[in-house]
Amino acid sequence: MKRAIRKSGDLTALGAMSGTSLDGVDAAVVLTDGHRITDVGPTQYRRYTDAEQTVLRAALGQWSGPDVDAAAAVVDQAHLTLLASFEGIDLVGFHGQTLAHAPRDRGTLQVGNGAVLAYALDRPVVWDFRTADIELGGEGAPLAPFFHFACAKYIGATEPLAFLNLGGVGNLTYVDPSFDRPEQPGALLAFDTGPANAPVNDLMQRRLGQPFDADGETARSGTVQEGALERFLAEPYFSRMPPKSLDRNDFSKMVELVSALSDADAAATLTAVCAAGVAEGMQHCPAPPARVLVTGGGRHNPVLMQMLSVSLDCAVGPVEDVGLDGDMLEAQAFAFLAVRVARGLPTSCPGTTGVRAAVGGGTVSWPDATDIAV
């Protein structure tokens, strides 16, 4: 028999995120009523093995078939292994692994089965967060902005600020904390800025057998090739008004663009590509933010952070500067969004995804295998 989720008060939610960098699964606990963050709890990380990453990479850009099925199995098992170690959880927010994202064409695909997790964990699981947004004309991404709005309130921000997530793709959330609710017009603007770590990671893997440019050491010894940078900024994506979103592989040819360059020059150029995309995107903000708080793996790259500091006309620093956890912010976001879905609150709005009206969407799977589309 289905067990009810309390309709008021704080819930202990566990969120899980497997990003486009394909490094592993983040899991984090948030205590929230779906409006405010009361507290944050334990976090854990499970790295994908080399073999698992190979399976996931083989399925990128595909919509169906044996490679997708194999990737889904990896995602389910990795999440089960990690999430089963948490106790005292009211519900789980499960994002799954994005393999393909084409909101104006075929939609979006996140593999992983929330019903399987609900049965195995004996907890309700909220998943398939993006479909309802796309069906109502939205991009289906980014979805973290409503959580970013709650974070701005949590840290006591009084001036507009921006959250910049640098994973495989870069995305920016402009937050005006003077508003009461995230769905109010003007409270949020969010969009993908362009490629972030994905091209550099792919370059390092192909050329040097390394998963990423640790501490930006390869890029630091190289020179940015301005011609390649100009060709990148000429892409039509950057002339589009937000909201807008990208698939991880939309700029995969960037690696080919630097194929004639040395390892160091190629890494420097692709790192500069990320910073340039962010600088272009900042021009869409309705007003200059007081600061940019950087989350995701890109904040660990001092070369990239320096490029951002030079390119942007405001203070730039990691979210740790205000007491947040940049490695777990997205996992925390899906814990927060799970509570909003369970309580019928919107999770996206015109300013974040371009959806026609504020919408809350997802599927709640129960341990008894009864799914409810919300």
Which two structure tokens, joined as six digits, stand for 65? 């078939």
What's the mean pLDDT in 317-324? 98
Could you tell me the residue ranges of all domains in the chain? 11-140+328-373, 156-322
Report the C-alpha gap between 175 and 276 in whole angstroms.
21
| More confident position, 214 or 239 | 214
The answer to whether the CB of 10 falls within 8 A of the CB of 32 is yes
First-residue to last-residue Cα distance in the chain: 19
Q: Whose CA is closest to 316, among 272, 278, 269? A: 278
Answer yes or no: is pLDDT of 370 > 70: no
What is the pLDDT, as a whole number, of residue 371?
Answer: 58
Q: Whose CA is closest to 79, among 366, 329, 324, 331? A: 331
What's the mean pLDDT in 40-66? 96
Range of lowest pLDDT (41-45, 128-132, 231-235): 231-235
With H, G, I as helix, E, B as strand and everything else as coil, classify residue 227: helix
With H, G, I as helix, E, B as strand and everything else as coil, classify residue 61: coil
What's the Rg (C-alpha) of the chain?
A: 19
Q: Report how far Cα 97 is from the mean position of its chain's Cα atoms.
A: 11
| More confident position, 373 or 143 | 143
What is the pLDDT, as a whole number, of residue 347?
Answer: 97
Q: Whose CA is closest to 152, among 347, 329, 371? A: 329
Report the C-alpha gap between 333 and 219 in whole angstroms.
31
What is the pLDDT, as a whole number, of residue 271?
Answer: 97
What is the pLDDT, as a whole number, of residue 1?
Answer: 43
What is the pLDDT, as a whole number, of residue 369?
Answer: 65
The amino acid sitting at 164 is L
Buried b (16+ CB within 10 A) or exposed e, 182-214: bbeeebbbbbbbbbbbbbbbbbbeeeeeeebbe
Estimate the share of the chain in helix, then strand, then coil, as percent rounded to the nearest 5: 40, 25, 40
* The CATH fold of domain 11-140+328-373: Nucleotidyltransferase; domain 5 (3.30.420)
Quick one: angle between helices 66-83 and 114-121, nearest 10? Answer: 30
- Residue bearing tokens 């912010």: 329
pLDDT digits (tens, 9 = 90+) for 267-311: 999 999 999 999 999 999 999 999 999 999 999 999 999 999 999
The answer to whether the CB of 231 falls within 8 A of the CB of 254 is no
pTM for this prediction: 0.93
- Residue bearing tokens 């854990």: 44
Determine the CATH number of domain 156-322.
3.30.420.40
What's the mean pLDDT in 56-63? 95
Per the document, the length of the chain is 374
What is the pLDDT, as a whole number, of residue 246?
Answer: 83
What's the mean pLDDT in 123-132? 96
With H, G, I as helix, E, B as strand and everything else as coil, classify residue 174: strand
What is the pLDDT, as a whole number, of residue 255?
Answer: 82
What is the pLDDT, as a whole number, of residue 238?
Answer: 85
pLDDT confidence of 372, banded at 50, 70, 90? low
pLDDT digits (tens, 9 = 90+) for 211-229: 999 999 999 999 999 998 8
Phi, psi of 315 (to 5 degrees): -65, 140
Report the C-alpha gap between 323 and 320 in whole angstroms.
5
Q: Whose CA is closest to 19, among 93, 85, 95? A: 95
- DSSP label at residue 36: S
Do the first three CATH levels of 11-140+328-373 and 156-322 match, i.e. the same topology? yes
What is the pLDDT, as a whole number, of residue 257?
Answer: 84
Which two structure tokens, joined as six digits, stand for 134? 């796309």
Answer yes or no: is pLDDT of 23 > 50: yes
What's the mean pLDDT in 56-85? 97
Answer yes or no: is pLDDT of 69 > 50: yes
What's the mean pLDDT in 180-206? 94
Cβ within 8 Å of residue 48, ≥6 positions away: 22, 23, 24, 25, 56, 74, 78
CB atoms within 10 A of CB 221: 14
pLDDT digits (tens, 9 = 90+) for 156-190: 999 999 999 998 899 999 999 999 999 999 999 99
What is the pLDDT, as a whole number, of residue 2?
Answer: 55
Answer yes or no: is pLDDT of 102 > 80: yes
